[in-house]
């Protein structure tokens, strides 16, 4: 049972299907979205929570964080596990449900590119040992990288993941934009980025921070800001530069 038809729903439903785990229904408010995903995993599409079967082992909520509690509160009384897939939401968001848990795959997903879950960390939590064990068993059918983690740690990890993934991706998007606007092939930056990421997993990335901010090359910083035409981009550059310099100062203290 998959609730949702977005990127995460799409990838998890497909992975369950491939692993031989039956997905009975796909719920989405939008009929076309429900139909598309349901068709892919041979499930029944539904558009109303009232049509939920009440005998599923698991009701997996793959929906935006802000809609989790309102959807879960409207569930009929069921014996199966209700779990969400959010890094940010506490287990207690699902307290209205008898058996509840969290099934958090730590990976970025898009609809049109298959996620290989084999090495994706899946972080599980349950409101009882039995629920947690059931979620971890399920996770192990998709991935070799499964951990139990409590809500507090998961929420902190989620903030870290936003920096490491979403914010990093935005930095790459800005670099891409600057390159294409100036007829520079973006791939020229690939060795640089590969090196940066490789080094980050050898030791604390703070220890090999380089560049004008780290060197406090004030002329270069001023030049870069003048080369960025938009005020919002200038503000972004300034804020990150300041944050790098704060971090270096903290180290030296």
Q: Which of residues 94-123 bind a copy of itself (CB under 8 A)?
A: 106-110, 113, 119-121
Does residue number 214 form part of the binding site for a copy of itself (CB under 8 A)? yes
48-77: which residues touch a copy of itself (CB under 8 A)?
Answer: 64-66
Cα–Cα distance, 214 to 226 (Å, whole number):
19
Among residues 53, 96, 148, 236, the one that binds a copy of itself under rule CB under 8 A? 236
Token pair in block for residue 77? 């009384």
* Rounded to 5°, angle at Cα 162 from 230 and 229: 5
Among residues 40, 49, 98, 158, the one that binds a copy of itself under rule CB under 8 A? 158
Among residues 99 and 143, whose Cβ is nearest to a copy of itself?
143
Instruction: Give me the least distance between CB of 174 and a copy of itself, in Å please.
Output: 5
Does residue number 88 form part of the binding site for a copy of itself (CB under 8 A)? yes
Does residue number 144 form part of the binding site for a copy of itself (CB under 8 A)? no
Among residues 22, 51, 130, 176, the one that binds a copy of itself under rule CB under 8 A? 176
Instruction: Give me the least distance between CB of 105 and a copy of itself, in Å please.
Output: 10
Instruction: Give me the least distance between CB of 63 and a copy of itself, in Å please.
Output: 10
Cα–Cα distance, 123 to 103 (Å, whole number):
6
7-46: which residues touch a copy of itself (CB under 8 A)?
Answer: 7
Cα–Cα distance, 84 to 100 (Å, whole number):
8
Does residue number 205 form part of the binding site for a copy of itself (CB under 8 A)? yes
Does residue number 189 form part of the binding site for a copy of itself (CB under 8 A)? yes
Instruction: Give me the least distance between CB of 68 and a copy of itself, in Å please.
Output: 9
Token pair in block for residue 194? 């590969």
Instruction: Give me the least distance between CB of 166 and a copy of itself, in Å please.
Output: 3
Order of all β-strands in the sheet with 146-148: 44-46, 25-27, 2-3, 58-61, 81-84, 99-105, 122-126, 146-148
Does residue number 157 form part of the binding site for a copy of itself (CB under 8 A)? yes
Does residue number 253 form part of the binding site for a copy of itself (CB under 8 A)? no
Cα–Cα distance, 82 to 72 (Å, whole number):
8
């Amino acid at each position: 049972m998959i609730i949702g038809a977005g990127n995460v729903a799409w990838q998890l439903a497909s992975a369950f299907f491939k692993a031989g785990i039956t997905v009975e229904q796909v719920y989405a408010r939008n009929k076309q979205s429900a139909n598309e995903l349901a068709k892919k995993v041979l499930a029944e599409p539904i558009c109303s929570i009232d049509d939920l079967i009440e005998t599923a082992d698991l009701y997996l909520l793959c929906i935006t964080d802000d809609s989790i509690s309102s959807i879960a509160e409207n569930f009929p009384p069921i014996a199966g596990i209700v779990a969400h897939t959010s890094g940010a939401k506490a287990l207690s968001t699902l307290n209205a449900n008898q058996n509840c848990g969290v099934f958090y795959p730590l990976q970025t997903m898009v609809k049109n590119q298959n996620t290989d879950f084999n090495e994706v960390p899946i972080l599980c939590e349950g409101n009882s040992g039995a629920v947690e064990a059931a979620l971890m068993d399920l996770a192990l059918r998709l991935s070799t990288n499964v951990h139990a983690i409590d809500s507090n740690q998961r929420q902190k990890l989620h903030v870290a993941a936003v920096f490491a993934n979403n914010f990093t991706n935005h930095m790459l998007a800005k670099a891409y934009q600057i390159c294409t606007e100036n007829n520079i092939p973006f791939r020229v930056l690939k060795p640089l980025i590969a090196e940066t990421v490789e080094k980050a997993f050898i030791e604390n990335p703070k220890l090999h921070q380089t560049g004008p901010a780290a060197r406090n090359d004030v002329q270069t910083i001023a030049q870069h800001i003048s080369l960025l035409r938009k005020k919002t981009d200038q503000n972004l550059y300034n804020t990150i530069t300041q944050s790098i310099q704060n971090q270096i100062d903290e180290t030296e203290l």
